[in-house]
Structure 1
């Protein structure tokens, strides 16, 4: 292995450490607790080393969001691949999405609530965000209904899931009705 390859590998390891530490800190204490100073202390590198990877917290949030979008897409695809039939796929998609949001609240916030400098629904939208939307679209396009654009239907379904995720997490919707909400969403919104 050349010196250059070793340096690149070490840099990639440091970057993964920074992101893993940021995620851990955000999940434990919230994104307000994630500062470059605290990250540098936790990873035992200087702040200039951290800044050599990311220009600041906004870029870190963006990188965490991209990781999260990739994970969410994988979770949706794994859940829907085991389902039989369109209704079961849509219900599995909804559950996987809501479970991901509940299990990874800080990452979910990085994807959808915080400013990570990422563009949604634009030409320059990063691939992980496009792929997360594609994971939803793949399973929803067949249930969009006649005359309904599959992309628009996916946006509405996604917005509904996002609302359920954020309102449940904030305590505005009682969690004991979560499954009933999923069933209602699937039965009323998906043209099956």
Structure 2
């Protein structure tokens, strides 16, 4: 292994340590506790070393969010079982999405609430973001001719439910019923 390859590997390892430390602190104490100074202390690097990897805290949050989008995409893909009916797939993906939001609150906040610079629906949208959207689009496609807009609406409904429940604005005991209602709206089925 050459010097250049070793330096690249060491740089990538430092970045992984920074992102992991940010995730760990955020899950344990919340994002307000994640500062450049705190991260530098946590991983025993100087602040200038952190700034050589990330320009600011928002870039670190963005790196955490990017990991989260990859994890969410994987969770949604697992929820898509070939043996399920199209309506069941909508419910399964909705359930998986909400379960993810509640199991990883700091990650979810990095992905959808905090500033990151990550953008959807552009030519430079990272693959992790496109994959999660694609998983949702897969289950929406049987019910809509405008799959992108319908998927955005499905996603917005799930995000709204996640945020409202996370902040105590709606009753958690009715989550499963809300998911059924979303499936009925998506599928055009009424009860």
- Is 1:180 matched up with 2:177? yes
Gaps of 5+ in 1: none
Structure 2: runs of 5 or more not aligned: none
Change (3 A) 1:75 1:83: farther
Distance 2:159 2:184 in 1: 18
Aligned length: 189
- Name the SS of the counterpart of 1:120 in structure 2: coil
Give the drift of 1:123. 2.9
Aligned residue runs from structure 1 range 131-142, under 5 A = 131-142=131-142
Partner of 2:49: 49
> 1:19-45: per-residue Cα shift (whole Å, max 9, x none)?
011011111211111100000000111
Q: Are 2:69 and 1:69 equivalent residues in the alignment?
A: yes
Aligned CA RMSD, in angstroms, stands at 1.5
1:191 pairs with 2:188:
yes
Structure 1 length normalisation: TM-score? 0.92
1:68 Cα offset (Å): 0.7
Distance 2:186 2:4 in 1: 54
Cα distance between partner residues in 2 of 1:81 and 1:12: 35
Partner of 1:22: 22
Could you list the per-position Cα deviations for residues 107-161 of structure 1 after superposition, in whole angstroms to 9, with x for gaps in the alignment? Answer: 11111111111222233322222222111111211122xxx41111111111100
Q: Displacement of 1:82 after TM fit?
A: 5.8
**Among residues 156, 159, 182, which one is paired with 1:162 in the alignment?**
159
- Contact map agreement 2:61 2:116 (CA 8 A) in 1: yes
Runs of 4+ more than 3 Å apart: none
Residues 1:189 and 1:139: Cα distance change in structure 2 (over 3 Å): closer
Q: CA deviation at 1:103?
A: 0.9
TM-score (norm 2): 0.93
Cα distance between partner residues in 2 of 1:151 and 1:14:
37
Q: Decide whether the 8 Å contact of 1:62 with 1:117 is kept in 2.
A: yes
Tell me how far apart the structure 1 counterparts of residues 49 and 3 of structure 2 sit (CA, whole Å): 19
Paired with 1:11 and 1:47, the residues of 2 have a C-alpha distance of 15
